Structure 1
């Protein structure tokens, strides 16, 4: 068994958290999988795995080795695929906010899988900043203006934003008809993962964008928590319209200040700028670029 095969065994053991399960997927004895990892540990002179009777888990050194092996295996797969005419194959890891994924991506995922049956698609959910190279993620889909980084960004579309509050809240505080009437109102504030500060409210007047900072009854880093708090009458929020279709129809939330809406939020897919695009990533970029993110 060469070094590449040893990497494959180690990757599968970490992912399955079991020598037996990993060996079954690879068609080798569990003892062989265990011996391969022991041989690697001996060669590297580090402990890669913590072994118990119930589970196998990587050590900090094992985590680093896993990430390095994952990148090497991906690079080799991509190099071989670049000389072939077959379909993209291998593991494709995409990170996207859960609500965005469920509303826009999931309805079309079956067609993507049918078009690329040799791909193993892993869809993780998040809105935090991620290190694509270190975490082995191929690309991420994010809402907002991408920060300057080593990531390339491809614009996919824009999400219409909306300002809303619950009927109960408006009954207690009044319905603001102009921005000046926001005095005395409260928001459910969203804490930015990038800055750690609450996001202000944004409004468009003509060609200009203005912001208002209102006191918050609650601050949260969770978008779903923010919407739930608004339903409970805790304050005004601004979110993409697509997320509130059912709430608006049922009357749980009411749009306010519709004449001065927030600016739409861009949706982009980001991927390492200096990495040659693999066939897997190129296939995903082409597919996700056909999705209509308007709402």
Structure 2
């Protein structure tokens, strides 16, 4: 038995929740993964996993073993990385998940410079406003907007993002311009945005001096993707609260018009997030540093239109 391969397979099965998914992530045949786990259990003379036809759960001994093995594998990766980082450029496959609007408008246009600097990194870029599960989907890191709810993840704050409240001239011609956030709950309507995973509607937030309001406006249309949200506003379906970097060109052209300018919205933090039990490899480290520099140049936090 290759004990190191067995340990890595065990960790991946625990994180993925099934042998089939773990085998896919490891790019190994499922029978090979099964044989490695069986050999590991025989070697340790203990049962690590409870298997059913539908799922895999960890035994008490397996949970304790998992915690120690993860630390050991991370230490090994650190040793390997420390020996090679000064001798070679970062290389290999890097899986990153990014919100659609940031991918389309910021990251993808800048990728030629990244690949010129790091030609041996193959970037698999997941583009979606759905929040990926870093462990089960084998994602190395993600870019996330807003406060983080999962405190088990490691996060590096790389900037902040401001939004602007605006509407298309066609909407204003038909409905007039709102003068107070409460108008969005009564005679006006908004374009709604709901989260892809939970289906929860995202409220508008407003700040004016010491006043803070959270508004769930009336809406005829709600979407769960950034570009669709912006397009719905451009065709006049309601008031938007959209990131400044997405709206800036439309505000300059007059296709969108700011409303309620005396009410601002609170800036949302931007983080690059990765799992705590994954070694921050050189390829992840250079990507995180590159994204931080990119976001700093984009000036997401500026209210300048």
TM-score of the aligned structures, taking structure 1 as reference length: 0.72
| 3-state SS of paired residue (1:259) | coil
222, 225, 229: which one aligns with 1:226:
229
By how many angstroms is 1:220 displaced? 1.5
2:215 corresponding residue in structure 1: 212
21, 26, 29: which one aligns with 1:68:
26
1:294 corresponding residue in structure 2: 299
| 3-state SS of paired residue (1:248) | helix
1:237 equivalent to 2:240? Answer: yes
CA contact (8 A) 1:127 1:142 kept: no
1:82 equivalent to 2:82? Answer: yes
1:129 equivalent to 2:87? Answer: no
2:59 corresponding residue in structure 1: none
1:9 corresponding residue in structure 2: none
1:282 equivalent to 2:285? Answer: yes
Change over 3 Å in CA distance of 1:179–1:99 after alignment to 2:
closer
1:191 equivalent to 2:194? Answer: yes
C-alpha distance in 1, partners of 2:289/2:181?
41
C-alpha distance in 1, partners of 2:96/2:242?
23
CA contact (8 A) 1:81 1:88 kept: no
By how many angstroms is 1:195 displaced? 4.0
By how many angstroms is 1:150 displaced? 2.3
C-alpha distance in 1, partners of 2:144/2:206?
21
| 3-state SS of paired residue (1:234) | coil
| 3-state SS of paired residue (2:157) | strand
2:252 corresponding residue in structure 1: 249
| 3-state SS of paired residue (2:83) | coil
1:120 corresponding residue in structure 2: 122
By how many angstroms is 1:178 displaced? 2.9
C-alpha distance in 2, partners of 1:131/1:197?
18
CA contact (8 A) 2:189 2:219 kept: yes
Change over 3 Å in CA distance of 1:111–1:224 after alignment to 2:
closer
| 3-state SS of paired residue (1:103) | helix
By how many angstroms is 1:69 displaced? 4.4
CA contact (8 A) 1:77 1:90 kept: no
Q: Which runs of 5+ in 1 are unaligned?
A: 7-59
| 3-state SS of paired residue (2:220) | strand
C-alpha distance in 2, partners of 1:207/1:276?
43
Write the deviation string for residues 75-114 of structure 1: whole angstroms up to 9, x where unpaired.
8887644322221211111110122023222343222222
C-alpha distance in 1, partners of 2:27/2:153?
22
2:94 corresponding residue in structure 1: 92
C-alpha distance in 1, partners of 2:77/2:202?
42
RMSD: 2.8
C-alpha distance in 2, partners of 1:121/1:242?
24
Write the deviation string for residues 217-258 of structure 1: whole angstroms up to 9, x where unpaired.
112212222222212221111110111223222222211011
By how many angstroms is 1:156 displaced? 0.9
CA contact (8 A) 1:82 1:279 kept: no
CA contact (8 A) 2:100 2:226 kept: no
CA contact (8 A) 1:144 1:265 kept: yes
Give aligned pairs, total.
239
